[in-house]
Chains A and B, each alone.
Chain A
Amino acid sequence: MNYPPHHGWQVLFWGCCAWPASDYSTGGTNGSREHVLSFGRRTVEQIISPIALYSVCVLGGLGVALALPRRDQRLQILGGIIFAAALGVAALALGLKASEAGGLPNFFFYPFAIVGLGASVRMVTHPRPVYSALYFILTIIASCGMYLLLSAEFMAFALVIIYAGAILITYLFVIMLAMQAPTSTKEELLDETDAVAREPVLAAALAFILLGLLTTAMFRGIGEVHPAGDPRTAQNSVLQYLPAKVDKILRRADMIDEDERVLRLADGTASVDAATGAITIENTDLHTTRLITADEWPENLGASNLDRLGFNLMHDHPMTIEIAGIILLMAMLGATVLARKHTEFEDDLKASHARRLGLDGSVNTNAGGQR
């Protein structure tokens, strides 16, 4: 079947609009809307059955509402168990459906997802801020695992360094700076602020209704997301900008001689054909050229995640980097101004400081007397 191309947001929009009224599509004259509707229904049933999805939302909401900080710890434990059950149902429903459709993610996805979501719930429900921060580090590490599975190696390690290494340490510092009166280890003696949540049932109900809507809309739109472009073409167009790297790998693989190198085009890019992957090699002495076709490529010739990410960052989004730099600069200035301590000095203290620095009138009169 041939579907017209759609943007993801259009699909989400129409998926949301058309969802409650099934006869909406018959009245519409727009053909693409009907496509989205029929295709969307098929996809959501392929991925997860609606009953399982909504029972996961209900169970999860109930679990989180009970697990939020409250005086009765037994209810919290019960909430944790219910939430764990919801996670199990979600994993089973998603996994069973996906194995039917043949698109199961890597096995490691399930432990990472369960650890990540479990730790994030514990972070939200733990009455002590320090433990919340530590559980958040666990969430970060679990999502790093998922980034690795999604072949985003650089971002995974950047996340550990920036989040777990820098941002969370700042949080821990502030928690310790702004520590309230020390309490004993008994939870009952905790400050009211941390020990009791505000409106847990209402918040959890609304939030998990949002989760149900979000997942429904997303799963409806998923089948219409653009298919991936040809990855080889994208990789070759990055390799064009890395002539030295192509040279080095070909030379290591003994595919070019000492007096040969990859042909540079007029703008300095390597002559790698984006569509076919054919590399033109020139002999610098004899000024002859020959071709290395994509079949002959050495195994390790290719743009790594870091190559492609850096290229994308610097080539396609240079203005965004400038904006990010300005945001960080402003945040630094703002944080410095906000956190500065305004100290009040007594008048005589100010006067004595001024005298020591030679800023007040007495120094001047002395100087005048000597003259």
Chain B
Amino acid sequence: MDAVLTLAQLSFPEPTGDAMLAHYLFVSAAMFVIGLVGFVTRKNMIVMFLCTELMFQGAGLALIAFGRHHLGQDGQTFVIFVLCVAAAEAAMALALVVLLFRHRESLSAEAWKDLQG
């Protein structure tokens, strides 16, 4: 029961094992890959950009897990910058989506097929 009740941060200065890092890396890689599948398969532009946010999440989890493994703060600092980039990307992408929607009255990426080279 102790193991259940003890949140990891209570034992913060203790270094963690490799297996624990592997758990978090697996989840982060899986999140990234699921986002990738969504980005490639979905046709709705808003959902496509949501999937890029999911990929950001996967990357952020890996950064934080490595930071915890090294007992350093650089991982968390870089997640702050990932958040910045995600916010900037969301603003730009959504403005772009609104603009494209006004032109074709459709959110489908296939409405812009004629852009292919």
Q: Do A and B bind each other?
A: yes
Say whether, besides A47-B18, A90-B26, A223-B18, A143 and B61 are in contact (CB < 8 Å): yes
| CB-defined contacts of A211 to chain B, threshold 8 Å | 29-30, 33
Min CB–CB distance B99 → chain A (angstroms): 5
**Cβ-defined contact, B8 with A106, below 8 A:** yes
**Cβ-defined contact, A218 with B25, below 8 A:** yes
**Cβ-defined contact, B50 with A132, below 8 A:** yes
Min CB–CB distance A222 → chain B (angstroms): 5
Per-residue contact bits, chain B 2-26, to A (CB 8 Å; 1 contact, 0 not): 0110111100110111111111111
| CB-defined contacts of B105 to chain A, threshold 8 Å | 180
Question: In the bound complex, what is the Cα–Cα distance between A133 and B79 (angstroms)?
Answer: 21
Say whether, besides A150-B24, A167-B53, A174 and B46 are in contact (CB < 8 Å): yes
**Cβ-defined contact, B70 with A162, below 8 A:** no
Question: In the bound complex, what is the Cα–Cα distance between A352 and B26 (angstroms)?
Answer: 66
| CB-defined contacts of A189 to chain B, threshold 8 Å | none
Question: In the bound complex, what is the Cα–Cα distance between A298 and B98 (angstroms)?
Answer: 57
| CB-defined contacts of B22 to chain A, threshold 8 Å | 47-48, 94, 98, 218-219, 222
Near B by CB (< 8 A), chain A positions 100-144 give 101-109, 113, 116-117, 120-121, 123-124, 129, 132-133, 136, 139-140, 143
| CB-defined contacts of B101 to chain A, threshold 8 Å | 177-178
**Cβ-defined contact, B110 with A193, below 8 A:** yes
Stretch in A30-38, A151-159, A266-274, A287-295 with 4+ CB within 8 Å of B: A151-159
| CB-defined contacts of B6 to chain A, threshold 8 Å | 106
Chain B residue with minimal CB distance to A98? Answer: B19
Question: In the bound complex, what is the Cα–Cα distance between A332 and B62 (angstroms)?
Answer: 28
Question: In the bound complex, what is the Cα–Cα distance between A43 and B33 (angstroms)?
Answer: 23
A283 at the interface (CB under 8 A from B): no
**Cβ-defined contact, B19 with A47, below 8 A:** yes
Question: In the bound complex, what is the Cα–Cα distance between A335 and B73 (angstroms)?
Answer: 32
Say whether, besides A103-B19, A116-B31, A208-B33, A330 and B7 are in contact (CB < 8 Å): no
| CB-defined contacts of A281 to chain B, threshold 8 Å | none
Say whether, besides A43-B18, A105-B20, A178 and B41 are in contact (CB < 8 Å): no
Question: In the bound complex, what is the Cα–Cα distance between A174 and B48 (angstroms)?
Answer: 13
Min CB–CB distance B49 → chain A (angstroms): 8
Say whether, besides A117-B27, A151-B68, A316-B77, A97 and B19 are in contact (CB < 8 Å): yes
**Cβ-defined contact, B81 with A170, below 8 A:** no
Question: In the bound complex, what is the Cα–Cα distance between A358 and B5 (angstroms)?
Answer: 74
Near A by CB (< 8 A), chain B positions 62-115 give 64-77, 79-81, 83-92, 94-99, 101-102, 105-108, 110
**Cβ-defined contact, B77 with A167, below 8 A:** no
Per-residue contact bits, chain A 193-218, to B (CB 8 Å; 1 contact, 0 not): 11011111001100110110011001
| CB-defined contacts of A167 to chain B, threshold 8 Å | 53, 86-87, 90
Min CB–CB distance A209 → chain B (angstroms): 9
**Cβ-defined contact, A334 with B92, below 8 A:** yes
Say whether, besides A211-B33, A327-B84, A235 and B13 are in contact (CB < 8 Å): yes
Min CB–CB distance A246 → chain B (angstroms): 18
Stretch in A16-24, A224-232, A250-258 with 4+ CB within 8 Å of B: A224-232
Say whether, besides A90-B26, A124-B34, A124-B37, A136 and B53 are in contact (CB < 8 Å): yes
| CB-defined contacts of B83 to chain A, threshold 8 Å | 158-159, 162-163
Using CB atoms and an 8 Å cutoff, list the residues of chain A in contact with chain B. Answer: 8, 43, 46-48, 60, 64, 68-69, 90, 94, 97-98, 101-109, 113, 116-117, 120-121, 123-124, 129, 132-133, 136, 139-140, 143, 146-155, 158-159, 162-163, 166-167, 170-171, 174-175, 177-178, 180, 191-194, 196-200, 203-204, 207-208, 210-211, 214-215, 218-219, 222-223, 225-229, 231-232, 234-235, 305, 308-309, 311-313, 316-317, 320, 324, 327-328, 330-332, 334-336, 338-339, 341
- Given A106-B6, A308-B73, 5 further pairs, Cβ under 8 A: A124-B47, A150-B24, A178-B101, A328-B84, A331-B91
Using CB atoms and an 8 Å cutoff, list the residues of chain B in contact with chain A. Answer: 3-4, 6-9, 12-13, 15-27, 29-38, 40-44, 46-47, 49-51, 53-54, 57, 60-61, 64-77, 79-81, 83-92, 94-99, 101-102, 105-108, 110
Listed A/B pairs (16) with beta-carbon separation below 8 Å: A106-B6, A120-B31, A136-B53, A140-B57, A163-B83, A171-B90, A196-B43, A204-B41, A210-B36, A218-B26, A222-B21, A305-B76, A312-B72, A320-B77, A324-B85, A339-B98
Per CB-CB distance, the 6 closest pairs between chain A and chain B, nearest first, are A103-B17, A103-B19, A331-B88, A124-B38, A151-B9, A312-B73
